[in-house]
Structures are given as C-alpha cells and as structure tokens.
Amino acid sequence: MPNPIEFYFDFSSPYGYIACEKIDELAAKYGREVNWRPFLLGVAFKTTGGVPVPTIPMKGAYHLRDIIRTTKYHGVPYRHPTVFPISSVSPCRAFYWLDAKEPRRAKDLAKALYHAYFLDDVDISSADNAVAVCAKFGLKADEARAGIADQAVKDRTRAEVDKAIARGAFGSPYIIVDGEPFWGSDRLDQIDKWLATGGW
Amino acid sequence: MPNPIEFYFDFSSPYGYIACEKIDELAAKYGREVNWRPFLLGVAFKTTGGVPVPTIPMKGAYHLRDIIRTTKYHGVPYRHPTVFPISSVSPCRAFYWLDAKEPRRAKDLAKALYHAYFLDDVDISSADNAVAVCAKFGLKADEARAGIADQAVKDRTRAEVDKAIARGAFGSPYIIVDGEPFWGSDRLDQIDKWLATGGW
C-alpha cells in the first residue's frame, strides 16, 4: 500500500476548503488514501508569530479579493462568511469525536462543516451551530453536543493539533506526500506532478 | 493599445525571479507590454509588519524547500544564494539609473541582476557587485557606479518604491493586470486566464 496523503487544514481557511474540494479526486487518480487532519492554525501562529491575514494592512484587502477570484478560478462555489475568520475549535472537536467512532464518515463531516461555513454562512465556531451541522449530516444532536464537550475528545483534538504542528503545519492547507510538505491550495498542481513522478 | 502589465518585484525574491523568467512570454501571448518595476519589500514590511520569511520558525525551513522545488517545477535554473535574503537597494538603483536613460534596456539589466544573484551566487546587495553586473552587461562601470550613487537616482528609486506600495505591492512578485492585482509566481496561471478572458 502506498502512503496515505496527510491533509492538514483549519476549518476557518478558505484555501483549506478549496483543497478539501479537490484532494480526494487527486489522491484517487494515484490510488492514494487521504488522512484528513483538521488542526488549529491559531496554535501554530504561537510558534510562527503569524496573525490572521485579514488583520494585516494591504495584505488583508488583497487576501479577500484573492479568495473570491481563486475559488471561481477552481470552480469551487463560495460565499464569503459574514464572520471571518473564526475560531475552529468546535468543528475540530466534532471531527475528532466522530473520527474516534466512525472514522470513514469523519471526512464527509469535515466537508459538511466546510460547506456550512463557506456556502451557507453558518458560523461554525459556535458549538450549537457545529452540533446543528452534525444533526443535518445525520448524527444525533445530543450525542454530538456531548462529544464536543467530552474531555477525551478535547484531549484527542489537542494531541492532533500538536501532531500537526510537529509535522510542520504552519499554514492551511498543509499537505504531506511521502514526506514532502506542500503548503497552500496553489501547490495542488505540484502535488499532482509529485504523485505522478515520485518527485524531482 | 491594451494596458501594460505592471510587474513589481524585489531583487531578493526567488518568486520574483521565477516571474521574471516567465512574464514576458506570457504578456507577448496577449500582445501586452510589461512595465518592470523593482521595489523594496523591506519598505512594504514597515506597513504590513512583515518579516523576511527565512527568519520565521517552521515557515522558514519550508520556504527554502519550496523555492528549490518550485523553480525545478517551472524549469527555471536556480542556485540558492549563499547570502539570503539581501538588501536590494543597490540593484534597484542600478535599474532606475538605466531606466532613466535607456528604458528599453532596463528590463534586460533586471534579468542580468537576477541571474547574477540566483544563478551565479553574486551578492548583488553590494554596490561593487551590482556595478560589476552592469559592466558584464555592457555598461560602463564608472557610469554605473556614479549612477547608483546619484541623488536623482536615489530619489527616483524612493519614489518608485512609494508608488509600488501605493499600488498595493506588499509581496514579490506583485503583478497588476487591468487593475486586478495578483501576488506570487503561483498566480501566473490565473493571470494567463485573466488575460485570455478579461476576468471573471
């Protein structure tokens, strides 16, 4: 079996969302699985000194324009959320709660959470809203609510975030193919060639 | 006449160098001219709070790897300079000195300066080395030396840097097509489509 592709992303990241829409098809082309691993960019920022891009003079205004243009360029439907960026702790915990009991479905929940935020303008930073997305996805609301609040899920989330950062994830998406790290949805073309050729 | 493409770049920027190798061919495909406009990223950083990427934990190590991989991906010859990054004031002044008297040749001098830095490992931050590149390019060394030191050239350089920043350039390359800004050599594919379609 070839190595799975490691896919690190933050639920508040539009470029992570673009990658979420593209990565499975790309991986399937080369018979690869994808390990979906949400993490918290805010924690990485404590190491890198990073700040949310929208707050940066000049870059912030460009960033919004680039998101709108780039999603259209890739044919990915997008509506810029009213609240942006957000803390992504709740959706991250919802993911790892489901991942612990039904790992095959966790990826689809990640997509549902991304769609709620970047298509339906649902502020998924709120635990109530994250639970509502889980319910719409077909999970039991009370179980999802308990899961997000569960200490074991919180611990697992924290451990996964630490692992992501230990793997080098300082931005979103951060994608590792056979040990080679790629940052940004604009590296998907290089990933395609890397998978096809084994690297250069 | 269609608008020229505005090409802002810093002589210390590997991604600016990639764009320098690609932009003329891309523009020619659509009958466009390119206005080459070197600027100083360090001055933009005073507004954006940016810092040289190599100094950033995690991101710095990735950055170097990405440069090597991305230049190969684009088929652009590259040797990572011994001294990196550098202050690009001297090459910037050399460019605007020549631009004032022989604007048609300034672009080719920019390429020669980039090649000296990113192929031949010449530290072009030194005025002596920048002059040596000018001499090798076919200009008179004493004139180039006087040009770089000339107050009018310094003032022009300063004014061009201010203009670039006023146009929004916070990174390198920063390329404007009919008012639409694109940051990074990884936006050349979008620029191609933008020129072909008039935007979306």
Contact present, B30 and A19 (Cβ < 8 Å):
no
What is the per-residue pLDDT across B132-154, written as a single tens digit (0 to 9) for each? 999 999 999 999 999 999 999 99
Contact present, A19 and A27 (Cβ < 8 Å):
no
Q: Is B168 in contact with A61 (Cβ distance < 8 A)?
A: yes
pLDDT, position B1: 79
Nearest to A190 among B69, B171, B187 (CB): B69
**pTM as predicted:** 0.96
Here the tokens at position A75 are 């044919």
A165: nearest CA in chain B? Answer: B58
Here the tokens at position B116 are 């000296």
Mean pLDDT of A121-138: 98
Contact present, B127 and B142 (Cβ < 8 Å):
no
Beta bridge partners of B34: B5
Here the tokens at position B72 are 């190969």
B175: nearest CA in chain A? Answer: A62
Mean pLDDT of A120-128: 98
Interatomic CA distance for residues B68 and B133, integer angstroms: 24
Here the tokens at position B176 are 């404007």
Q: Is B62 in contact with A170 (Cβ distance < 8 A)?
A: yes
> In chain B, where are the structural domains located?
5-197
Identify the residue among A170, A172, A194 best suited for mutation to test binding to B, counting B beta carbons within 10 A and taking the highest.
A170
Residues of A in contact with B187 (CB under 8 A): 66, 186
Beta-carbon contacts of A65 under 8 Å, excluding residues fewer than 6 positions away, are B181
Interatomic CA distance for residues B168 and B72, integer angstroms: 29
Contact present, B87 and B81 (Cβ < 8 Å):
no
Contact present, A60 and A52 (Cβ < 8 Å):
no
Nearest to B58 among A47, A61, A62 (CB): A47
pLDDT, position B42: 95
pLDDT, position A1: 79
Q: Tell me which CATH code domain A5-197 carries.
A: 3.40.30.10
A174: nearest CA in chain B? Answer: B62
What is the per-residue pLDDT across B88-109, written as a single tens digit (0 to 9) for each? 999 999 999 999 999 999 999 9
